[in-house]
Structure 1
């Protein structure tokens, strides 16, 4: 029986506005021509990396897999010090990793979100040391020890912390090595260069084209590795962008409003909260202390007033019924959506609205509603059983897991998404 292989490359922030340039680069162009593709991948809400990747591997929306943000709720803690949803146990739906493990497939993952301590044969999870932890020990503890050590010895000199392009160059070198020497049947890796550059330099400019070229070269190296390994003819490649990004001029700190009205306060120098806005880039969650009806009423009043004040850039306030329709984690009763050009942040001590351009800063982010105009991302599927030049049309990030399951004949169970069977011969 011929083995089947599937390589999934999460091309972070690879969105429809990048398609015109990317589709003319040699390696992506080849995959597009011999496979199925679309620029109309709709994401989940909020459009954050860890939420989306949890939907990838489960085929479910956040109301089922329960990863609602990159970070668990950690009020008043700087983002650089916060824990993230690093561990597979944070996902409350069955995953493609577990399905492959149960079937006895050899699997690998490189810097894949929410994969710590997963039943993956060869795993270097995306995980970061915080609050004085040791980075190397944390990765070894939560991934595959011998595999990680071997690749670190071979390629560690490429990496310079989390700086790009070095981090993705390291990941690519590890991927090439893994394909040649381990031949995993399911291989999922996360490349972050494009997302990083958009965040800190904006979504337009020559810096974007430079990253797209680097990314195409990385994809080419991975394809070439399958040829060297003798697995190319049996490998299905999936290249998928998780979200778009939008340029931001104004950062909005709604917790400053709460602090000005006593909903956030300090007691013996320690900050406390009765209501708190947890920012998710272009969206935000409202947290309320249970049983504090007065705080609930005041918070709603303040947010409704801010909604009608142009300075705060709030596009909408969603109630629980609306959130249920969008498959948002059911623990939340209210979310806020920012207008284009605005995003939310957590701090309560700075001004409520900061003009980044006035400070000479360029910034972009995501998290916004999937239905924002021109906010979709891209998907390419190419392999031995995929129809050549096929237009996939509108698909969803929840279709990724079921499609992987279809390629590898895995039982993923009940999912919100569907296998994209029309793409196959």
Structure 2
């Protein structure tokens, strides 16, 4: 088999979902890619629909029960969310990746704020990493990415960025990508743009702010396409624009650990907090953690959750059993998960009131994490390049198909994937 393209540019546009499709189709740069390529707004995600879980599925072509990343954050009970570590490092993925397959074949790779790539085998790498507590942001990125490349980009374009504020952060990522395409011509460029996800989280899924983000998104994609033309590689490049998950608007934030605290499953002893059972919130879903061997705690926790499920106000749609989790390819350390109803999401804090009405506080908020089968919850995919059959409707696909499709385009060896290469869209 030969390569379909010499170059692949993957833009993960976080939270680019079915409800943004009509708007995206009307924008000039996105419209051209759609017209000249294959597309769908029926991309099904993995569970829970969290960014780091999904990006690990993208690059491995595997479900979470194989690649091992089950949440954005490793389990850190009693640590406030703003202070928690995330799955920032490549070592957290327990499976081969498509960028390593490219590297093995002697191809040049680049990663720009791509999740779970700290200390990864990527030639030009600025990983997505955030300083927590007293860490130094610049130093942490330097230690975890490609030092010289990161320094060069920071010196040239650092003034564009204002911490992690949007739209500045995505503008920084885009100018770094343009520079990298022109100067380095990587065979595989993976980049993560977060403007849309941030905007939905902060202001909800509907409104003028969404249209503004999609305008900015279209401009950034136009800049990337132009960079390939300037570099003389446009005809040999395949563009993949993909949304990892949707978002749903939330009115009620629910803290189930408050119920566990009231029933003694979470308790204070000698000035420290301890837990027998603990709910790790994942937005629209949550994991039930139980101390190993404490079957009594599991029984009590399930009884509390079943009781809460009977009350509409806690927003529990389902308590998913081990068998259901196996069918969803959820990491097999978990026996139970909790799924929220639309309009509800789960947090961790055991000292918060159990139910917070965000609208009563004047807040707009949206999130993800919910079951991929939720109604109107799919995301978008555009694959465009000279070897793609123009105007193809891809139909229903999964996020685990992205890695195998990249491998197909670049003729790489990515074995034992759960997903499949979308071979039918190519000439």
Q: TM-score range by the shorter chain?
A: over 0.9
Once the two structures are TM-superposed, the CA of residue 293 in structure 1 deviates from its matched residue by 2.3
Show the counterpart of 1:244: 246
* CA drift at 1:381: 0.2
Match of 1:183? 185
Q: Which residue of 2 aligns with 1:231?
A: 233
After superposition, residues 47-86 of structure 1 pair within 5 angstroms as 47-86=49-88
Give SS of 1:343's match.
strand
1:165 Cα deviation (Å)? 0.3
The count of aligned residue pairs is: 425
Where does residue 209 of structure 1 map in the other structure?
A: 211
SS at match of 1:224: helix
Three-state SS of the structure 2 residue aligned to 1:316 is strand
Q: Aligned partners of 2:72 and 2:343: how far apart in 1?
A: 22
Q: 2:321 and 2:293 mapped to 1: Cα distance?
A: 18
The alignment partner of 2:244 has SS state of coil
Match for residue 399 of structure 2 among 371, 384, 397: 397
Structure 1 spans left out of the alignment, 5+ residues: none
Equivalents in 2 of 1:293, 1:396: separation in Å?
A: 36
CA RMSD of aligned residues (A): 0.9
Could you tell me how far 1:28 is from its partner in structure 2? 0.2
Aligned to 2:166: 164
Equivalents in 2 of 1:45, 1:204: separation in Å?
24
Q: Helix, strand or coil: the match of 2:173?
A: helix
Residue 268 (structure 1) shift: 2.0
Report SS of the residue matched to 1:368.
coil
- Deviation for aligned residue 1:252: 0.4
- 1:322 is the counterpart of 2:347: no
Of 102, 114, 117 in structure 1, the residue corresponding to residue 116 of structure 2 is 114
Give the gaps of 5 or more residues in structure 2: none
TM-score (norm 1): 0.99
Please name the residue that 1:42 is paired with.
Answer: 44
Moved over 4 A (4+): none
Q: Which residue does the alignment assign to 1:21?
A: 23
Superposed CA offset, 1:317-363 (max 9, x none): 01111100100000000000000000000001011001000010000
Q: Secondary structure at the match of 1:384?
A: coil
User: 1:132 — aligned with what?
Assistant: 134
Match of residue 406, structure 1, among 405, 408, 411: 408
Indicate if the aligned counterparts of 1:97 and 1:118 stay in contact, CA closer than 8 A. Answer: no
Alpha-carbon distance between aligned partners in 2 of 1:169 and 1:308, rounded to the nearest angstrom: 47
Per-residue CA shift, 1:371-405, capped at 9, x if unaligned? 00000000000001000000000000000000000
Contact 1:98–1:119 (CA under 8 A) maintained in structure 2: yes
Match of 2:263 among 246, 261, 264: 261
The CA deviation at 1:294 is 2.0
Q: Normalization by structure 2: what TM-score?
A: 0.99
Whole-angstrom CA distance in 2 between matches of 1:358 and 1:131: 31
